[in-house]
Amino acid sequence: MITIDMTMLLHIINILLLAVILNIVLYRPILNILDQRREKISTLNRDIESFEKNRQARLDEFEHKLQAARNQAKNEFEALRSATQTASNKRLAAQRSEVEAAKEAQFKEIESQLTVARGELRGQTSAFAAAMAGKVLGRAL
């Protein structure tokens, strides 16, 4: 059996003293280190969230600027293409009018040559007719 005497009281005091010393020397520093670690992890998590929000905001801004640049480039391309098409159409119209004018001039030249040739042939028609009649009749007219 257990007898309650002075040694038991010393053991209880020893255990309580050991608990206090262990609390001061071991448990509190470990708990403080764990609290500091928990605080540091919490701070790092907040920083990570902040950086993630900042990254997402910058990514959104970059995509917005990229889309704006694409739209601007597309608009400039369309404007240049339209201007080039207009200039090309003007040059083509000018060349067509030049070709049309040259064609008309050539037609007039051919028509005037045809008129001159008809006039010459009309003048020579009576001579040709007399020569043919002379050949057909066998005598000169």
CA distance 95 to 87: 12
Whether pLDDT at 122 is above 90: no
Q: What is the pLDDT of residues 79-102, one digit of tens each?
A: 999 999 999 999 999 999 999 999
DSSP string, 103-116: HHHHHHHHHHHHHH
Three-state secondary structure call for residue 141: coil
Whether pLDDT at 129 is above 90: no
Q: What is the pLDDT of residues 37-82, one digit of tens each?
A: 999 999 999 999 999 999 999 999 999 999 999 999 999 999 999 9
Q: Give the confidence band of 1 by pLDDT, cuts at 50, 70, 90.
A: low
Residue with the bigger pLDDT between 129 and 48: it is: 48
Q: Give the confidence band of 130 by pLDDT, cuts at 50, 70, 90.
A: confident
